[in-house]
Amino acid sequence: MSIGIVQFGGSNCDLDVLHVLKDVLGVDAELVWYKEEDLSRFDGIVVPGGFSYGDYLRAGAIAARTPVMNSIKALAEAGKPVIGICNGFQILTESGLLDGALTTNNYPKFKCESTLLRVETTDTPFTSKFKKGEIVSIPIAHMEGNFYADEATLSKLEDNGQVAFRYVDKEGKVTDEANPNGSQENIAGIVSAKKNVLGMMPHPERASEEILGSKDGIRIFESMMEFISKN
Ligand SMILES: NC(=O)CC[C@H](N)C(=O)O
């Protein structure tokens, strides 16, 4: 099994993901430069967080137009798992691999804090190791994480079980106070229609070891690896 971690100019969570996959999980993982056009050697891809191309135009807009994205689209079409974290989520929406858009936080500042998420579905390659409705702690760090989609897209996401994570309070309730950025319906992460592409604003790689205060994020990577080994 081999996982590619894509690097753009301005990526800054690539090495953290590499550490989690290689050192914590013992998975064969490799950094991939944005000019790479052939990703067929990989079983899955992580598009990590950061400030690709300085977030110019819109966060993720420039990275979405780089050569590596064509290969990521091909890999996703072949049913392999692709996860975009934070800036990675922004890149996946900008490239059309995921619905909606990530807009500026309702309080327009960079926010770095722990958030509680409710796992909305276990029926994805990234959430099979959770319980439905489970509340997990995974931190956010962004300025453009305010998820927006039009009404028709929102209903489609809800009806097809494509909402993976929602920001909630300690009781697991969807409230405005628990919503760190103004995302519609408190959406923190969604999957594609085929469910093999996940985008999420919180950073699971920053919640993958006890020393970081939460290990809840590691189960996202573990679920992905289990999916790969079974398929
Ligand atoms: N941690 C990140 O990936 C940063 C996300 C993004 N560039 C923002 O601030 O919105």
Q: Which residue has the tokens 């990675």?
A: 88
Catalytic residue set = 86, 203, 205
Q: Which of these, 164, 5, 156, lies nearest to 87 by C-alpha position?
A: 5
Instruction: Note the pLDDT of residue 49.
Output: 98
pTM over 0.90: yes
* Both structure tokens of 207: 């919640």
Residues 23-56 pLDDT 10s: 999 999 999 999 999 999 999 999 999 999 999 9
Residues in the chain: 231
The ipTM is 0.95
Q: What letter does residue 50 receive in the DSSP assignment? A: B
Residue 45 and residue 130: Cα distance in Å, rounded? 21
Pocket test for ligand 1, best of 144, 148, 201 (most atoms within 8 A of CB): 144
Could you tell which of 51, 52, 107 is best to mutate to test the pocket of ligand 1, judged by most ligand atoms within 8 Å of the CB?
51
